[in-house]
Amino acid sequence: MFRGVRGAITVQENTEKEIMQATDRVLRKIIQDNELVPEQVASVFISVTDDITGVFPAKALRSIEGWNYVPVMCMKEITVQSALKKCIRVMMHINTAKSQQEIVHVYLEDAVSLRPDLSIEK
């Protein structure tokens, strides 16, 4: 079965260091909470709001051992006036036998406000 796993995190500053650390944190939590291995992952999309320009967040996935062959693409989130600022969003497409209810979506920092119904720490 092909499923999507969502995640998001916010940063305080538009710096390479903070963007890399935040992206690494949300990716590792998605991987850990869903017990993923690279071979299960078809692709990863990472979007950022207009105020994140310090580095391509995909670089964080490349730094995780064993994940360098997983296709990953960065893109801009659409601009909505009331949208959460300094937000990095992840959509990971995985092959799994898990049901949709078993997938663990990860929302950290101020991104919890995007999906409070899914943001309960498991």
Q: What is the pLDDT along the chain (122 residues), one digit of tens a residue?
A: 999 999 999 999 999 999 999 999 999 999 999 999 999 999 999 999 999 999 999 999 999 999 999 999 999 999 999 999 999 999 999 999 999 999 999 999 999 999 988 865 54
In a domain, 32, yes or no: yes
User: Can you say how many angstroms the Cα of residue 78 is from the centroid of all Cα atoms in its chain?
Assistant: 16
**89 annotated active-site:** yes
Rounded to whole angstroms, how far apart are CA atoms 35 and 17?
26
What's the structural domain count of the chain? 1
**107 annotated active-site:** yes
**115 annotated active-site:** yes
CATH number at residue 19: 3.30.1330.40
Rounded to whole angstroms, how far apart are CA atoms 39 and 78?
30
For 42, the token pair is 């078809």
In a domain, 122, yes or no: no
β pairing state of 87-95 and 41-48: antiparallel
**62 annotated active-site:** yes
**65 annotated active-site:** no
Q: What is the pLDDT of residue 122?
A: 47
Report whether 94 contacts 5 (CB < 8 A).
yes
In a domain, 53, yes or no: yes
Q: Which of 89, 102, 109, 121 is catalytic?
A: 89
- Domain of 77 in residue numbering reads as 2-117
Rounded to whole angstroms, how far apart are CA atoms 14 and 34?
29
Rounded to whole angstroms, how far apart are CA atoms 65 and 49?
27
In a domain, 89, yes or no: yes
**87 annotated active-site:** no
Q: Which of 18, 25, 28, 115 is catalytic?
A: 115
Q: Which of 74, 87, 109, 121 is catalytic?
A: 74
In a domain, 23, yes or no: yes
Q: What is the pLDDT of residue 121?
A: 54
Q: Which of 13, 35, 62, 102 is catalytic?
A: 62
DSSP-derived letter for residue 59 is H
In a domain, 80, yes or no: yes
